[in-house]
Amino acid sequence: MSVFKPRDWGSHAPFIAPGYKSTILRGPSRPPLAIKSGLTEGTGPRFAPASVRALDFDLTKNGITNGEPLGERIVVHGRVMDTDGRPQPNILVEIWQANAAGRYVHKVDQHEAPLDPNFRGSGRCMTDENGNYKFYTIKPGAYPWGNHFNAWRPNHIHLSLFGPGFATRLVTQMYFPGDPLLELDPIFLGTEDPVARERLIAKFSIDKTEESFALGYQFDIVLRGRNGTPMEN
């Protein structure tokens, strides 16, 4: 028996989603071959808490050179769990995003918006024993891209997780509620099931909002569940 339940392909985009043009030449054209995920895919890299340094979870501080980064300070809380609702402890969450003006630090990004000398836009954090994570950042700006005429990416934060096994690897994007660009974005819309893609939108939370400091968002992340009895760790 496979270690993990089969991937729910209905919750994911197809490899080729023609609205997102790059998928046409880059997505595999043939369906993936099903194999039982045994020991191999059931195992996966572990990370020590020490691999997250003190400021890694605070993107408002980890790129400072001469002052505070510009933009709207936010705090993102979330819980990583599996499809059975089991919290996933000690999961490394890697984060990267554009700055408040919609510009990435990446050398390839040529968008004519300013870089912020006090914001790099990458960080990481780890889930606690209850599967909860938290990071501080600046709300990323929207930016234009070349997919089609007048194409703009909605505000989003990139997140990368390994999960308990190599098979549960997930790279995703967190969006913001009420963004009018979502309904126009072929990457967001690549997930055809509207119920599934709602899971990509964080919820604003006044409870998580820190008074006079940062607006709070909640973004829970659900990974594939295990088959049968959970393995003891």
Partner 1 sequence: MAYGETPSQTVGPYFAYGLTAGQYGYDFTDIADPVVAGPDAKGEHIRITGTVFDAEGNPVNDAMIEIWQADADGVYSEKPVDVADAGFRGLGRCGTGTDAKNRFWFDTVKPGVVADAQAPFVNVIVFMRGMLVHAFTRFYFDDEAELNATDTVLQSVPADRRDTLIAKRVETPSGIEYRIDIHMQGDAETVFFDV
Q: Out of 153, 217, 224, 226, which one is annotated catalytic? A: 153
Among candidates 161, 180, 177, which has minimal Cα distance to 92? 161
- 143 counts as catalytic: yes
| List 158, 169, 197, 199, catalytic entry | 158
- The CB-of-150 to partner 1 minimum distance in angstroms stands at 19
Q: What angle do CA 110, 111, 116 make, to 5 degrees?
A: 95
Residues 6 or more apart whose Cβ sits within 8 Å of residue 106: none
Site for partner 1, residues 18 to 37, rule: CB under 8 A: 20, 22-35, 37
Give me the residues paired with residue 203 across strands. Answer: 218
From the list 69, 74, 96, 141, which residue makes contact with partner 1 (rule: CB under 8 A)? 96
Work out how close the CB of 6 gets to partner 1 at its nearest, in angstroms, rounded to a whole number: 8
Judge whether 136 counts as a catalytic residue: no
Q: Contact letters (x/-) for partner 1, 166-185, by CB under 8 A?
A: xx-xxxxx------------
Counting other chains too, the contacts that 31-34 makes at CB distance below 8 Å and 24 or more residues apart are 34/6
The residue (of 18 and 68) whose beta carbon lies closer to partner 1 is 18
Tell which positions 2-21 bind partner 1, by CB under 8 A: 5-8, 11-15, 17, 20
142 belongs to the binding site for partner 1 (CB under 8 A): no
Nearest of 203, 204, 197 to residue 182 by alpha carbon: 197
Q: Does 203 bind partner 1 (CB under 8 A)?
A: no
| CA gap 4, 222 in Å, rounded | 13
Which one is catalytic: 156, 175, 224, 226? Answer: 156
Asked whether the beta carbons of 177 and 111 are under 8 A apart, the reply is no
Residue 120 sits in the site that holds partner 1 (CB under 8 A): yes
- Single out the segment in contact with partner 1 by CB under 8 A; choices: 76-84, 128-136, 176-184, 207-215: 76-84
CA-derived radius of gyration, the chain: 18
How is residue 182 annotated by DSSP?
A: G
